[in-house]
Structure 1
Amino acid sequence: MDITTANFGGRVLEIINDIASAHFVAVDLEMSGIQPNPQPGDRRKTRTLQELYTEAKQAAEKYATLQVGLICVIQDTNGKKYHVRPYNITLNPSFENSLGIDRTFFFQSRCVQFLKRHGFEFDKCLEVGVSCLSREEKNQTRDLANTPPTRMDLKIAEDDYDALTLVDHLRAKINEWIAKGVHDDSESLCISNLKDTTADSTGSSTLTTYHRALVHETVRNEYPTLKTGSENGAIFVKLKSNIEAESLDSLRVRQHSAEISKAVGFRWILEAMVGGDLSHMDIRQYAMETIRAYEPGVDNVMTYLAATRKSLDNLKNRRTVLVGHNMLFDLVYLLALLGPLPDSVEAFQATIHKLFPLIIDTKFMATAVERSPNSTNGASSLDQVMASLKSNKIPTIVLDSAFKKYRRRAYAHEAGYDSSVTAEIAILLSAELGADPGPESDAETVTDSQTEPLTESQTESPTRYRDWLPAPQVISPPAGPSRFAHETMFDVLGELGDDDETSQEEDEVPANEEQEAETASEDYVWTAIDYALSASEVSSIPALPLMPPLDDVFWSDYGNRLRVFGTVEGVLRFGGE
């Protein structure tokens, strides 16, 4: 499901509720760049984890996150299946001027060309993207809101008789008017010339621009319950209404706070995932938007609010399990959306582990042990791992009926789709490893460190930080070429060709498939392995057991480790020695 500013208000609580119910959440990000200072030969240089993290930190501080894929996977242990709910969220890296925040961000040309070749719509980010105000930025703009606007007090010269007399008699006139009894804002005191405030003014009685400013300023500074207005050259002094009697500064702060709450946008979802502070989130307003737009049958907003607050409590007590593929850069960019990044890789590890006590990297799972007959023999890109699982007897994976976009078509290099395939790999691969790990499956044989950097024979690129799905291929008889045969964004940083310029638009879905997607009302049994696989064919396959329980010792071996090729250490660990 695509999420933009048009539907974010009505969907944000639904996403949070899904996250709270999820067995795990798979994530993938699209960025405007990944190399902070590209230099020839950088991709072939072996780094330490600290050096690589420093590069990732510099990149995240320089470039922008443009799209986030969040896949909520809900496990049905009774039905022995998984319900998948994919959200593809477009982000806007810029803000409205009223917030007083001015971001500077860059685009890396080769990354832009790569995404453009695969149909990424950059203008969509700036036109309908959801904002994401970080914690630090929120504090900065709140400080600005709490600072009263600078007012230039008019200075009256000692020899300016008219001005001094005007102010003195204006005060007397207003005090006399108030003493007579002013009951509402229908009554007014008219100041049209100097004679209205002075008894013996000589010369011209016309109010100059300077005199008018004095009247407005005197009333504003000395009479907080009164207001001034101008009409036909005269100034009218009136009593403020009950609403207007509130301090203008307080009103301005409240209005600015509402703007801030809206600008936080996607970070509300992140805060929910990490058990953060949601006290300033207008949950009631979002609940009303949800009910009005998508659940007209729900009459009681309080019921929906209660369910949402229960979800938030659950997330505080049971933190989100986060899944990704080759996810170091994803984690760094994700953390940057919350606030400033730490300088050391050790501080980064501690921060991530505190926010997400269990991280699952499907790349580490795929390379930790030899998986025999279907092993990829060290090849570990997303497409290669997916292809290696093609012959598995799969657990049933159900794409809920409200999520139609990925039913019959791949959208490679779209964050929502790539993270959907990552979620499927996590289910299939952990079910395979957990069901029959083999004789060398004990903790000692799980490779979580390297004394030497991994080589070309172990992976298609020793310095590839992250792998991507190839260009989408709609599978229909007769079968076309394999969709697992295309370059990644990190390959593009080495060389960018001129072919494959076709844009992948959703409205290009063949008519028969589009009609099926529109008319289907029940859940669809989905797999990214083979789109020609029908529900009846899936039901006839004996399923593997479900994923190992999240508290199983299995995850002590396979969880909280990132495979990081091209580094001296080879693995980045969280929460361990």
Structure 2
Amino acid sequence: MEIVRENFQRELPYIKEAIEECEFIAIDAEFSGLHTEPNRRTQNTTLEEGYEDLRNSASKFLTIQIGISTFKFDPSNGSYLAKPFNVFVFPTTLTGYSPQGRCFLTEASSLDFLAKNRFDFNKWVYQGVHYMTKDEEEVYKRERTKAVNNEMDNIAVDAANTMWLQDVIKRVGEWKNSKQALNFINIQTNNAYQRRLVYQEVRRYWPTELNARGQAGHIHITKITEKELEMQQQQRQSDLQRDIESSRGFREVIDILSACKKPIVGHNIVVDLAYILAQFVGPLPPTVEGYKKMIHKTFPTVMDTKYVSYTASALKGLAFDSSLGGLENMVGTINFMGCPRIIPHYRHQRYLSRDLAHEAGYDAYITGSIMIRMLALIAKNEVPLPAPLTKIEIEVRKNGKNEKRPNSSKDPKAFKTPKKNAEPKKASPPPTAPVATPAPAPVPAAPKKFSYADIVHRQRAPAVAPAPTVVVPTPLPPAPVVEEEEVEDEMEESESSESDYDYIQESDFPAHEKPFSWQSPSVTTLQNVLHWGRSSHGCINLVSS
């Protein structure tokens, strides 16, 4: 599903519902650039140097497209239901005003890559969803509140506009005191500076008597009563609250992802997280430890498909290419037969083919699908923990005995210690010739249960006529014609106890078990460790000291 400025507010409740009901979320992002200094990182780059380069890039480039795909297990068929969203994001407010005054860099190679993969730059600029960080929202809220409450700071009047402003004040005063004048007056203005001066003077001379409202090319001033002023102030406060809430834009989705505390999955996600946090949460910390804490605080559980692919023992030697496309090909091999299927929701049929590869929504959908199949294979190869010892086994081991555990270890009564001085079993007598016994009387077989379709078919089939006799029966009057639907209705009523529905119990269709658990030891050991490319340290552990 594509999300743009036009449908974002309408689809926001649906996005929130998808996140709250899912098991985990996969994310991906596209950027305006990746490296402020290309080819700076080498095999000898330290973790601190690599992070400083990443931090510098995340603060200067933009995240221009974000993919979010939710996954929910369906126990009725053992598959996962996916809801992928592809979101264009652009750094403005709903009204087009950008309080952060954001300037950003672009990298020619990144834009060329996006263009070759049919990225719609016009849609990004014209329809990109607006957003603000929390700090930017607070600044915007203070500015808008002051404007609504007429608490804007006064500005100085320059010499060029002194005479013009004095004439405006005089005209407005004469109009206000005239009993024969209209209920409004329009003051022509040439620029934003003159409009600001008119607002300022009306607020200073007639704060509770006049109301000034900007229109195309002029300021519309009207007389107002105290009751109208109070109602107008309440309306402004309501509009202000709605404007502040809508100004958050896409950052509200990031807040929902953070609040749900569900696993976040990505491919080489350390880069995506840096850009997303810097753009929607706040500036990245100056140190690696601070960055790790910021990730862990925002998203408590994070998993990286790239790290899992070369770390899990069950996947050793299966992936020849650790790129997203390489892992997609890997999970489609015979080794992953029997792993659960991933089915897009009926409202999310955009990614049924691979034509939209490298679109953020598609990559997020593929990333989550890869993780599901990898974790399912890992769970198949997971060695189960031994069952806890029973009380009898514990006592036996305390006494220094080492008998084998019985097959039914869950039942304490099944464990029997050998008896002392047990007598050997007596040999059984040699077999004798079998004695013929009369055959038992045949037991009548249970009546065969027919399905509803068999019964109807049997009713329609012509009965086999008995052998003819000497006595010719008296001809009977013709039987009334019975409609086919009436026969079926009668059979359904008379043979309802013989219907298939009485024999099919709910237990005949057991619910499928989840292929893996996020709390299993084989999965928890792979969480919160992210791949760190082209460096000797290899990965970054979010929970290490």
User: Does TM, normalized by the shorter one, top 0.5?
Assistant: yes
Paired position in structure 2 for 1:23: 23
Paired position in structure 2 for 1:556: 524
Paired position in structure 1 for 2:208: 225
Aligned 8 A contact 2:132 2:248 in 1: yes
Aligned 8 A contact 2:81 2:344 in 1: yes
Encode CA deviations 1:308-351: one digit per residue, 9 max, x unaligned. Answer: xxxxxxx3xxx121001111101111111211211111111112
Paired position in structure 2 for 1:424: 369
Paired position in structure 2 for 1:459: none
Q: Which amino acid aligns with 2:322?
A: S
How far 1:153 moved relative to its partner?
A: 8.2
Paired position in structure 2 for 1:142: 141
Aligned 8 A contact 2:324 2:367 in 1: yes
Q: Which amino acid aligns with 1:259?
A: D
Secondary structure in 1 matching 2:84 = strand
Secondary structure in 1 matching 2:25 = strand
Secondary structure in 2 matching 1:423 = helix
How far 1:566 moved relative to its partner?
A: 1.9
Paired position in structure 1 for 2:91: 93
Paired position in structure 2 for 1:388: 330
Q: Which amino acid aligns with 1:130?
A: V
Query: What CA distance in whole angstroms lies between the structure 2 residues aligned with 1:565 and 1:236?
Result: 63
Q: Following superposition of structure 1 onto structure 2, how do residues 340-359 of structure 1 map, counting pairs within 5 Å? A: 340-359=283-302
Paired position in structure 2 for 1:364: 307
How many residues are treated as equivalent by the alignment? 381
Change beyond 3 A, Cα 1:257–1:329: same
Change beyond 3 A, Cα 1:99–1:63: closer
Identity %: 25
Q: Which amino acid aligns with 1:364?
A: Y
Aligned 8 A contact 2:23 2:72 in 1: yes
Q: Which amino acid aligns with 2:379?
A: G
Encode CA deviations 1:424-471: one digit per residue, 9 max, x unaligned. Answer: 1110000001111479xxxxxxxxxxxxxxxxxxxxxxxxxxxxxxxx
Paired position in structure 1 for 2:468: none
How far 1:79 moved relative to its partner?
A: 3.2
How far 1:266 moved relative to its partner?
A: 0.8
Are residue 324 (structure 1) and residue 292 (structure 2) matched? no
Are residue 47 (structure 1) and residue 41 (structure 2) matched? no
- Gap runs ≥5 in structure 1: 156-162, 178-187, 193-212, 276-314, 440-543
Query: What CA distance in whole angstroms lies between the structure 1 residues aligned with 2:140 and 2:212?
Result: 31
How far 1:57 moved relative to its partner?
A: 1.3
Encode CA deviations 1:116-172: one digit per residue, 9 max, x unaligned. Answer: 1111111211111111211111112222223433445889xxxxxxx9xx99xx89x
Aligned 8 A contact 1:84 1:397 in 2: yes
Q: Which amino acid aligns with 2:323?
A: S
- Gap runs ≥5 in structure 2: 159-165, 183-195, 214-219, 385-511
How far 1:18 moved relative to its partner?
A: 0.6
Aligned 8 A contact 1:25 1:73 in 2: yes
Query: What CA distance in whole angstroms lies between the structure 1 residues aligned with 2:373 and 2:82?
Result: 14
Query: What CA distance in whole angstroms lies between the structure 2 residues aligned with 1:219 and 1:360?
Result: 59
Query: What CA distance in whole angstroms lies between the structure 2 residues aligned with 1:104 and 1:67?
Result: 17
Secondary structure in 2 matching 1:242 = helix
Paired position in structure 2 for 1:486: none
Paired position in structure 2 for 1:495: none
Aligned 8 A contact 1:190 1:237 in 2: no
Q: Following superposition of structure 1 onto structure 2, how do residues 488-499 of structure 1 map, counting pairs within 5 Å? A: none
Paired position in structure 1 for 2:125: 126
Paired position in structure 1 for 2:499: none
Paired position in structure 2 for 1:572: 540
Query: What CA distance in whole angstroms lies between the structure 1 residues aligned with 2:139 and 2:267?
Result: 34
Secondary structure in 2 matching 1:106 = coil
Q: Following superposition of structure 1 onto structure 2, how do residues 219-298 of structure 1 map, counting pairs within 5 Å? A: 220-221=203-204, 223-227=206-210, 238-240=223-225, 242-245=227-230, 255-275=239-259
Change beyond 3 A, Cα 1:330–1:240: same
How far 1:72 moved relative to its partner?
A: 0.4
Secondary structure in 2 matching 1:558 = coil
Secondary structure in 1 matching 2:131 = coil
Q: Which amino acid aligns with 1:338?
A: V
Aligned 8 A contact 1:189 1:236 in 2: no
Query: What CA distance in whole angstroms lies between the structure 2 residues aligned with 1:154 and 1:89?
Result: 45
Paired position in structure 1 for 2:358: 413
Paired position in structure 1 for 2:82: 84
Query: What CA distance in whole angstroms lies between the structure 2 residues aligned with 1:55 and 1:89?
Result: 27
- Stretch of structure 1 that moved more, 45-54 or 118-127: 45-54
How far 1:410 moved relative to its partner?
A: 3.2
Paired position in structure 1 for 2:422: none
Aligned 8 A contact 1:189 1:238 in 2: no
Change beyond 3 A, Cα 1:75–1:218: closer
Q: Which amino acid aligns with 2:331?
A: L
Q: Which amino acid aligns with 1:23?
A: E
Change beyond 3 A, Cα 1:85–1:214: closer
Aligned 8 A contact 2:32 2:105 in 1: yes
How far 1:236 moved relative to its partner?
A: 9.2
Q: Which amino acid aligns with 1:426?
A: M
Change beyond 3 A, Cα 1:427–1:241: same
Query: What CA distance in whole angstroms lies between the structure 1 residues aligned with 2:46 and 2:56?
Result: 16
Encode CA deviations 1:7-62: one digit per residue, 9 max, x unaligned. Answer: 11111111111101111000000000010233xx4253532222222211111110
Change beyond 3 A, Cα 1:33–1:407: same
